[in-house]
């Protein structure tokens, strides 16, 4: 049952990662269009420029859990790479429990009011001609923290099951 929960979380974050891949391409196209319009035709729109900011925020905030799931996050690898697989699993488990869960939960709690307040007034851009969806942009913070929290739970499940399997294999060999 725990393994299924982990798989569901992983599928959710993987689908978000695929969505982000397309958002990255869209962001590059819009940025290219902004540069061509600005320097080629002396034309520009604030909303178009803000859309790049929204996409940039989406790429980093919504893609973080997928990156973590794929083990693409930054790690100081001086000691880690020399450890056995079991020690690496223990270290990853400890990192999830001691750092990832509390930090993700804290970010969720801190930004909840910030996002809710923005939604309550349907906050828009402060710039004339800007996008009227600032509340959506701020919501990325909450989606980020919740997806990271879920991915940490998934990783804890996977690491725990791996350690249990390794323990049973070692016990069976003795």
Binning the chain into helix, strand and coil, the percentages to the nearest 5 are 80, 0, 20
* CA nearest neighbour of 65 among 1, 143, 3, 137: 143
Beta strands in 15-136 (DSSP E): none
Instruction: Give percent of the chain above pLDDT 70.
Output: 98
Confidence of residue 174 (pLDDT cuts 50, 70, 90): low
* CA nearest neighbour of 61 among 138, 130, 134: 138
The C-alpha atoms of residue 123 and residue 121 are separated, in whole angstroms, by 5
Tens of pLDDT, residues 30-77: 999 999 999 999 998 999 999 999 999 999 999 999 999 988 777 777
- Its domain, for residue 161, covers 2-173
More confident residue, 170 or 24: 24
pTM, full prediction: 0.86
Q: Average the pLDDT over 97-115 and give the result.
A: 96
The C-alpha atoms of residue 90 and residue 162 are separated, in whole angstroms, by 10
**pLDDT in the model for residue 74:** 73
Q: Per the structure, how many domains does the chain have?
A: 1
Mean pLDDT across the chain, nearest whole number? Answer: 92
Full DSSP string of 47-77: HHHHHHHHHHHHHHHHHHHHHHHTT-S----
If you count them, how many residues does the chain have?
Answer: 174
∠ CA 65-71-139, nearest 5°, is: 10
The C-alpha atoms of residue 53 and residue 125 are separated, in whole angstroms, by 12
**pLDDT in the model for residue 131:** 93
């Amino acid at each position: 049952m725990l393994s299924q929960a982990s798989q569901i979380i992983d599928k959710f974050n993987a689908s978000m990662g695929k969505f982000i891949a397309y958002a990255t391409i869209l962001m590059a196209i819009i940025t290219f269009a902004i540069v061509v319009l600005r320097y080629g035709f002396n034309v520009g729109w604030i909303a178009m420029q803000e859309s790049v900011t929204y996409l940039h925020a989406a790429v980093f905030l919504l893609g973080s859990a997928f990156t973590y799931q794929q083990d693409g996050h930054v790690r100081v690898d001086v000691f880690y790479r020399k450890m056995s697989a079991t020690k690496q699993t223990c270290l990853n488990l400890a990192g999830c429990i001691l750092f990832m869960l509390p930090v993700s939960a804290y970010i969720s709690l801190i930004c909840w009011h910030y996002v809710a307040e923005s939604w309550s007034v349907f906050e828009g851009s402060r710039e004339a001609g800007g996008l009227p969806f600032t509340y959506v942009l701020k919501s990325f913070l909450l989606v980020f923290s919740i997806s990271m929290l879920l991915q940490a739970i998934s990783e804890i499940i996977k690491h725990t099951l791996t350690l249990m399997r390794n323990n049973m294999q070692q016990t069976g060999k003795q």
